Amino acid sequence: MKRNFIVVFLLTASALAAQNQASIRQITVFQEAGRFGGWPANNGIWCWGNEIVVGFSLGYFKKVETGHAIDGSRPSQSRFARSLDGGETWQVEVPSFLDENGREKEPEDPPGGLNFTHPDFAMTLRMVSSREGYSRFYVSYDRCRTWQGPYKLPAYGRKVISARTDYLVNGTHDLMAFITAGKENGREGRVFLARTRDGGKTWPLISWIGPEPPGFSIMPSSVRLSPARILTTLRQKEGDKHWIDAYLSEDDGQNWRFLNRPVDSTGGFVGNPPSLIRLQDGRLAITYGFRSPPYEMRARLSEDEGQSWGEEIVLRTNAGCEDLGYPRTVQRTDGRIVTVYYISNDRYRERFIEATIWDPGKKGAPRKP
């Protein structure tokens, strides 16, 4: 009898493992020999039902022993990948804001009056680099097919502004942007909230999120929980420690308090940024890369608006090296989640863009690890 129980248990465990494996699928978004595809988190993701557009950087691959395998002596450009079927297939597009030589024009003063609630609206906030220069933004009213801009963002008295795409639409001409600035000593970095109420013409700084760190606090990913409550998650570094913190505002962004640490470690190699989304059933999902062996893409879920977080879910394991991650995540109409990131299968092979399509399960039900 005991032996039969053991056999039944093993068969049940095997069936559950097979079911879980089948619920997570990897899709190649972009891969080309000799090229470096990277950093969706620097570029943005947008979703209209099952139509998804994600940005990424395209450069040339260079063999390295550690770090980013991109050839800095050769040009890199922006690209978009579009899916019309919820991330199952993808088509790569050249952004309309690049000229015939692949360059962006100099930004101009924003005109104001931009309509942020247009049904096909998208905005991308872009930086020169994380260590120098200032930032600009573009807007689209046709789902990222054509773009207006670039328009200048203020310098806010800082030596560097490193904007990436993280914003919340509040109304027709009202939008919040979560932006990384250089610290007072000019080094990377600290996050603040800017808000325009005149359709993008002016962008006053509303609040700093968290104290100025000894290391850095960068790359926010934010969701609105209610008319007054906003949750943002930040990529943190201090010494050789890397993690993700959550900050909460209960007065519509005027003030912030530390909430908790959704992710204790994002591994080595200066860690990895979060991608935070609110699911259709009200739960939160945070996705991120882990840059130490076994080199993974991971997720956690919260059923109480970020007050607590479930166990880590492994979305992708055994990547080729630490040069991975920077995810952006959306939920498609059937409830499944699409997480897009960059990765490699081997340290000495090209970096490519991949999507994991996964099932977050049902609210209140335990999810099998």
Whether 111 contacts 77, CB under 8 Å: no
- Domains in the chain with CATH codes: 2-358 (2.120.10.10)
The full DSSP string for 334-357 is TS-EEEEEEE-SSTTS-BEEEEEE
Q: Are 182 and 191 within 8 A, CB to CB?
A: no
Task: Give the separation between CA 302 and CA 82, rounded to whole angstroms.
Answer: 29
Task: Evaluate the omega torsion of the peptide bond into residue 253 and state whether it is cis, within 30 degrees of 0.
Answer: no
Write out the chain's pLDDT in tens, 369 residues: 444 433 333 333 344 334 444 589 999 999 999 999 999 999 999 999 999 999 999 999 999 998 899 999 999 999 999 999 999 999 999 999 999 889 999 999 999 999 999 999 999 999 886 566 889 999 999 999 999 999 999 999 999 999 999 999 999 999 999 999 999 998 999 999 999 999 999 999 999 999 999 999 999 999 999 999 999 999 999 999 999 999 999 999 999 999 999 999 999 999 999 999 999 999 999 999 999 999 999 999 999 999 999 999 999 999 999 999 999 999 999 999 999 999 999 999 999 999 999 999 998 876 554
Burial per residue of 142-179, b for 16 or more beta-carbon CB atoms within 10 angstroms, e otherwise: ebbeebbbbbbbeeeebbbbbbbbbbbebeebebbbbb
